[in-house]
Each structure stands twice: as structure tokens, then as C-alpha cells.
Amino acid sequence: MTSELFSPLLLRSGQVLPNRIAKAAMEENMAGEGQLPGRQLLTLYRRWAAGGTGLLITGNVMVHAEALTGPGGVVLDEKAPLEPFTEWAKAGKSGGGAIWMQINHPGRQVASGMPGVVWGPSDIGVSLGKHSSRFGRPTAMTPRQIDETVTRFAVTAHRAEKAGFDGVEIHAAHGYLLSQFLSPLVNKRTDQWGGSLENRARMLLDIVRVVRASVSPSFAVAVKLNSADFQRGGFDADDARQVIEMLEPLGVDMVELSGGSYESPAMTGRPADSRTQAREAYFLDLAKDLVKTSPLPLMLTGGITRRDTAERVLDSGVAVVGMGTALAVTPDLPERWKVHREADRLMEPVTWSDKALASAASMARVRHLMRRIARGGSPRPGTHPAVALVSEQRKQRQAVRSYRAWLSKRQDAASH
């Protein structure tokens, strides 16, 4: 009997995913010159494509050149040349699966040393105790800035389709801009974008509408949503249930459930909530509740590393299993599962008492693995988290310098 894991999935757009295994988005921070995808990203995605996933979702592609989640971020706006993106789409499809582009705006989650803008629904900064100064101080967005941002998402989606991608995933999780609007803790607006959940979801719903209208019906549109943000008084599972219902009439193909933000980094396996303490499939309990009422297919990401866990996730009614770290450690994991083999090695969790630092070190180690694959090497999950973190900080400093130079050149050109 073939496992449901390897059965195809037909989406509303008519797109068929060859199996139920997706590589979830992981921020590569590996843009080449001009904040564009370069040789390293192509090598990385070819390797994943050969590993047997039915769907690859890229790391953050930024819709606004002045607002990046990290200095090595890829930017696709109206000015970016399409050719490098066409190459990236080809690399991602080279194994017979689909590739979707995750499109995002960081809002207030921008490192303090970065040029550009730091925006939020309100002027409330990221609260990380002694690490709070790592992020810039946000200014509250004007209605015009909100409208222009909605348009930027549509432009990026339209161009992603032109470049040959099969779909986009709109990032409304992990404390980035759309997640900030959804959160009653961060969104203190008193206009049409604040207050009730309908108002806090307005920007996301407007983006989904304009994105769906600017791409063809066969192009997939997905949304990444927090199942909860694990902060008292924050966006919770009941809010997630209602937002999924609001998305249903707008032609969304799938909703990916994750959780957390930099303030409560559940997505790196360090949640503060007992319901998600299980090491594998962090958000499965919440997903099981949401599956019962969800009118849309759900994808679940967070901590899945073994085939039996993946099958348990599908048995709960979830349509697609998303994996991040597991595929950075073992890029051909789906091919192994086909022949009932598991990964040779797993990555040990970072158990430092400083949660913000542990989360940064976890992400640095995953990037370290991705860089090894991107250089044509094999991933080695044994790197010490402190070593990965220091190396990452050095790379970030170089990336900030080249991003700053690129941005000012662009701004100069625009003003002449």
C-alpha cells in the first residue's frame, strides 16, 4: 500500500502537487549581487528538487526594497530584473515538483543597523528584554503606506508568475508585518485597520484579493498563518480559525500553519505554551483543532523529522507536511522515506537559557547547513551553535554593507 504521503494533491487552482511533502520556507539570506538570486541559491534548490519534495517554498522574498528581514534578502519589485528569478524557478522545478515563492514584508522586525524603513501598524517596538535594541523603532504606517504595500505584494506575485514560479505564499506569521496587523498586542490602531479581528485582518485580505486578481487562475495562492503567537492576549487559535474562514471565499489554495514570533520563538521549537511542548510536530495539537473546521487544505510545519510523525500529521486531516530544518540536514529525506530509510543524523536543539539568543543560534545553524549545500558540499549538523552564530554575524555585517551601497545607488538613480 502506498502511503498517503506520496499521493498527489489537487488544489483549487487546478495545480497538482505530486506528493504531500513540502520544503517549508527557511530564510536563506543568500542573495547575490543586487539582492538577486545567484548561483548559490540555484545549487541549493536543485539539490532540494532532486530530493523528492512535492513542493518547494522559497525563503522570504521581499516586496519592498527598503524593508528587508535581513541584509542578504532577495528583492522582487517592479525594478528587479526577471532573468535570475526565471533561473531560480527552473532550478526549483528540476525534480518534477512545484516551487512557490514566499512573499513578505518585515514591518517592525528589521534589525537596528539596517538602512531603509521600520514600519508597523503602531509605533510599538519588538520587546526582547535586554535584546530589544537589536530591532529598529517602528513608526505607525499611514493609510497611503498601507495601500502602497498592498500593491507591492500584487506586483511581486505577478512577476513571480512571469518568472515561472507555480505559486506564492503570503507570509502572515512569525511576527512579520501582516502578523503584526493581526495581533491585538502590536496593532493598537483606531482606524479601519485596528480594533476588531475583521479590521486587523483587513490588510491581509486586501493583499490576497489583489494578488489573486493579478495572477492567472491556475497560479496557486497560499497564506502562512500563525496557529497562535503564544503570547498572553495575542493572536490565538480561535482568531486563526476565523481568519481561515475569511480567506476561504478569496480563492486561497492552502493555509500553512506555524506559530510564534521573535518575541516568543515557538517556530524554532522553544514555545512557552504546554500544548506544544512535544519535540516533534510542535503545532499538531492546534492544527488538529483547526482541521475540524477549516474549509481550506492545511499545511503544518514545525519540528517534523521522521516519516511516522509525518504520517501522523496527515492522519489528523492535515493535507501537506512542511519541513524546514530536517531538509537542511538531509536534503533527500523524501526519497529516503520512499524506501523506508530515515535521516542519518538529526540536529540537536539549542538549549541555552537565553531564549532570544538560542533562537538566533538555531537559525544561524540552519543557514550554515544551507550554505554548505549551496556550495556543493554536504550538510554537517554538528556545528557548535556559538560558532554558527559568530560566523552568521560576520556574514550579516558584510551583507549590510553591500545592501546599504545597493540601496543608496538605487535611491540616487530614482532621484535623478
Per-residue model confidence as pLDDT tens digits over 157-204: 999 999 999 999 999 999 999 999 999 999 999 999 999 999 999 999
414 in any annotated domain: no
396 in any annotated domain: no
The C-alpha atoms of residue 284 and residue 278 are separated, in whole angstroms, by: 9
The C-alpha atoms of residue 276 and residue 264 are separated, in whole angstroms, by: 13
Q: Indicate the pLDDT class of residue 277, thresholds 50, 70 and 90.
A: very low
SS3 category, 225: strand
358 in any annotated domain: no
Q: What is the mean pLDDT of residues 234-246?
A: 91
Q: What is the mean pLDDT of residues 352-362?
A: 89
**What's the alpha-carbon Rg for the chain, to the nearest Å?**
20
pLDDT at position 396: 94
Instruction: Give how many domains the chain has, as a whole number.
Output: 1
pLDDT at position 287: 83
Q: Which three cell numbers stand for residue 219?
A: 497560479
- Percent of the chain as helix, strand, coil, to the nearest 5: 45, 15, 45
Q: Residue 15: give the domain boundaries.
A: 4-347
31 in any annotated domain: yes
The C-alpha atoms of residue 339 and residue 334 are separated, in whole angstroms, by: 9
Work out the mean pLDDT of the chain and round it to a whole number.
Answer: 92
Are 31 and 37 in contact, with CB atoms under 8 Å apart?
Answer: yes
pLDDT at position 368: 95
Task: List the alpha helices (DSSP H) in 228-354.
Answer: 237-247, 284-293, 307-315, 325-329, 333-338
352 in any annotated domain: no
Q: Indicate the pLDDT class of residue 234, thresholds 50, 70 and 90.
A: confident
pLDDT at position 267: 53
b/e sequence 175-188, b meaning 16+ C-beta within 10 Å: bbbbbbbbbbbbbe
pLDDT at position 260: 61
pLDDT at position 302: 84
Q: Which three cell numbers stand for residue 27?
A: 530564510
376 in any annotated domain: no
pLDDT at position 263: 56
Q: What is the CATH number of the domain that holds 179?
A: 3.20.20.70
Burial of 398 (0-12, 13-18, 19+ CB in 10 A): exposed
Pairing mode of beta strands 254-258, 320-323: unpaired
pLDDT at position 410: 94
